[in-house]
């Protein structure tokens, strides 16, 4: 890793905030680094509330979407809620359908089959709507590029409302309304909502027509917080407020399906990290291994006993998913080594037998290993389908756009995307992608960067500091957990490797006489020699709490160590 120490903010700003908030230098510095430089901004940061949410009608086409849905409700039309098969899509469908069912019984839900229909709006889904006399489709977390599909639906007298957050193409679909903050002509003040977040803005607008406020929709925020965590959107501005309040719902009064998942993992208080690594993979596993409908069924079930049965089933899907992605990752690593391709600027691998549902996870694991823009391909019908993942600072979506002559369909974000292409174009695409990345990437981005907030002394770490740091949560992109650095620290002689295959290290370190503290370094087992014989070293770490036998103590979670 290359360590990058963030610039120390202007001392006068730090001093002013320190006095206004009555906090120490460390906390004031961290806040100013995050753009929080006044009492009022700090109050919003530490105490997010419904007041922080923007007016939904600031989003382009919101008035059209509300008017069309209200007309459908008034006329007794059949409405279909359509969403993608991942966490953002299934939570969006659960949110929208649950809300609309409080207004009408004529609601159907539809999740495309990952293997039969692929990503996004499908002709099969539109045909299903037509066969069932559905005249309005509300699409969530997909649809922004579905020009032909929306036109096809129009021929069948089916209207579309699109709620998406992906980047639009050159043309916007000819739908009744297209809600997407990333539209160039949309002046909504926050551009980084997830699909479920856009759906929440729509039900907020609909509820306001019924004389309700956003507070009346609190019960839906467990879904929104889960989607925010799973989709890795920045946890700033509106997303921070929604995640903060949604976590409160998850931990106090979650919907039966969420409660059933939490019961399976037996954890009392969940953080956004727990949502990402415990709840989200289970919801995702349904669409990866079986069908996304299973996730929607779980998330909309109102009877806890039934939800508990569904949660057991979902847990089994997740176990299958773990075994499958582990096997495919191992096969992909062997392929890379055997093909002697580890010296390039990209990683592109393909096997027609790989499970389409886990290639995104495999791409993430390969990116962690080789730290290069990565594509994992598999066979999908008569096409090849791939998941793309990138490294910090490099826009893989833009790179794919340059390769579009070889691609049939693609979409996504800066760091994660999906695509399909004709098998005959695979080699040409692979060569072009390598060439584009080689020409455009800054070589230093191919070494993982560890951003360090500030250097501190071990003696400055105490319970009060930890208490305030915990209030910086929820953590995520745009508001990462603070990383500190300390120099000239020494192991007291108790350092050792722990865990399977000695992968991890556990140290007890000191910098002066009275500041001993335990450190745990996951995946750092090969660096134990740096700490031997009480040689001084420097460490980058997060401050953490260790819970053991009812006791709580401070510890350092090591990110990296250097001589």
Per-residue pLDDT tens over the stretch 108-149: 999 998 878 878 899 999 999 999 999 999 999 999 999 999
* pLDDT of 551 strictly over 90: no
CATH class of 339-446: alpha beta
Give the residue carrying structure tokens 């059209």: 64
Summarised one tens digit per residue, pLDDT across range 50-109 is 999 999 999 999 999 999 999 999 999 999 999 998 999 999 999 999 999 999 999 999
> Which CATH topology does 2-47+450-562 take?
OB fold (Dihydrolipoamide Acetyltransferase, E2P) (2.40.50)
**What pLDDT is attached to residue 552?**
87
544/551 Cα distance (integer angstroms): 14
Specify the DSSP class assigned to residue 6.
Answer: P
Q: Binning pLDDT at 50, 70 and 90, where does residue 390 land?
A: very high
Global confidence as pTM: 0.91
**What pLDDT is attached to residue 513?**
67
Q: What are φ and ψ of residue 529, in 5° steps?
A: -60, -30
* pLDDT of 341 strictly over 60: no
Token duo for residue 155: 């021929």
Specify the DSSP class assigned to residue 533.
Answer: G
Question: Same CATH fold, 56-315 and 2-47+450-562?
Answer: no
Query: What integer is the mean pLDDT of 12-40?
Result: 95
Distances (CA, A) of 157 to 77, 79, 134, 144, 154: 12, 13, 9, 20, 5
Q: Where are the domains of the chain?
A: 2-47+450-562, 56-315, 339-446
Quote the mean pLDDT of the chain. Answer: 93
CATH class of 56-315: alpha beta
Q: Binning pLDDT at 50, 70 and 90, where does residue 193 land?
A: very high
Q: Binning pLDDT at 50, 70 and 90, where does residue 414 land?
A: confident
Percent of the chain whose pLDDT exceeds 70: 99
With a CB cutoff of 8 Å and minimum separation 6, the contacts of 114 are 85, 287, 288, 291, 292, 356, 357
25/556 Cα distance (integer angstroms): 20
Distances (CA, A) of 415 to 173, 194, 364: 24, 14, 10
**What pLDDT is attached to residue 342?**
58
Query: What integer is the mean pLDDT of 8-20?
Result: 95
Summarised one tens digit per residue, pLDDT across range 456-488 is 999 999 999 999 999 999 999 899 999 999 999
* pLDDT of 447 strictly over 80: yes
């Amino acid at each position: 890793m290359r360590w990058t120490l963030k610039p120390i903010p202007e001392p006068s700003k730090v001093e002013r905030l320190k006095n206004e908030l009555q906090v120490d230098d460390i906390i004031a510095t961290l806040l100013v680094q995050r753009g929080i430089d006044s009492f009022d901004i700090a109050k919003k940061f530490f105490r997010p509330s419904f007041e922080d949410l923007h007016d939904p009608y600031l989003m382009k086409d919101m008035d059209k979407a509300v008017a069309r849905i209200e007309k459908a409700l008034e006329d007794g039309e059949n409405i279909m809620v359509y969403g993608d098969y991942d966490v953002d899509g299934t939570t969006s469908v659960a949110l929208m359908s649950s809300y609309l069912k409080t207004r009408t019984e004529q609601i159907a839900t539809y999740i495309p089959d990952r293997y039969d229909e692929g990503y996004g709006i499908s002709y099969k889904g539109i045909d299903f709507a037509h066969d069932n006399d559905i005249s309005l489709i509300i699409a969530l977390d997909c649809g922004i590029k579905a020009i032909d599909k929306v036109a096809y639906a129009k021929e069948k007298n089916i209207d579309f409302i699109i709620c998406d957050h992906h980047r639009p193409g050159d043309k916007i679909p000819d739908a009744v309304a297209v809600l997407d903050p990333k539209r160039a002509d949309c002046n909504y003040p926050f551009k980084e909502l997830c699909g479920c977040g856009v759906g929440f803005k729509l039900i907020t607008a609909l509820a306001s027509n019924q004389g309700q406020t956003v507070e009346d929709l609190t019960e839906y925020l467990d879904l929104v917080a889960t989607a925010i965590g799973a989709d890795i959107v920045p946890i700033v501005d509106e997303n921070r407020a929604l995640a903060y309040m949604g976590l409160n719902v998850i931990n106090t009064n979650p919907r039966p399906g969420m409660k059933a998942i939490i019961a399976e993992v037996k954890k009392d208080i969940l953080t956004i990290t727990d949502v990402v690594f415990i709840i989200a993979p289970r919801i995702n596993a349904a669409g990866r291994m079986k069908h996304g409908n299973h996730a929607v069924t779980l998330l909309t079930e109102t009877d806890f006993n039934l939800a508990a049965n569904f949660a057991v089933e979902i847990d089994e899907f997740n176990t299958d998913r773990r075994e499958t992605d582990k096997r495919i990752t191992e096969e992909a690593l062997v392929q890379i080594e055997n093909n002697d391709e580890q010296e390039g600027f990209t990683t592109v691998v393909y096997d027609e037998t790989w499970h389409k549902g886990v290639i995104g996870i495999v791409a993430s694991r390969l990116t962690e290993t080789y730290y290069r823009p990565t594509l994992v391909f598999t066979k999908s019908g008569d096409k090849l389908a791939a998941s793309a993942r990138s490294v910090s600072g490099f826009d893989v979506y833009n790179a794919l756009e340059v390769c579009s002559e070889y691609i049939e369909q693609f979409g996504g974000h800066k760091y994660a995307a999906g695509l399909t292409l004709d098998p005959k174009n695979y080699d040409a695409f692979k060569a072009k992608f390598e060439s584009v990345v080689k020409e455009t990437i800054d070589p230093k981005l191919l070494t993982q960067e560890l951003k360090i907030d500030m250097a501190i002394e071990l003696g400055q770490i105490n319970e009060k500091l930890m208490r305030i740091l915990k209030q910086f949560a929820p953590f995520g992109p745009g508001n990462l957990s603070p990383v500190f650095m300390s120099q000239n620290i020494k192991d007291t002689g108790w350092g050792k490797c722990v865990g399977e295959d000695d992968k991890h290290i556990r140290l007890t370190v000191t910098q002066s006489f009275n500041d001993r503290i335990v450190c745990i370094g996951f995946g750092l087992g090969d660096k134990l020699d740096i700490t031997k014989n009480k040689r001084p070293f420097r460490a980058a770490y997060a401050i953490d709490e260790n819970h053991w036998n009812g006791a709580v103590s401070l510890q350092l979670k090591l990110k990296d160590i250097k001589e």
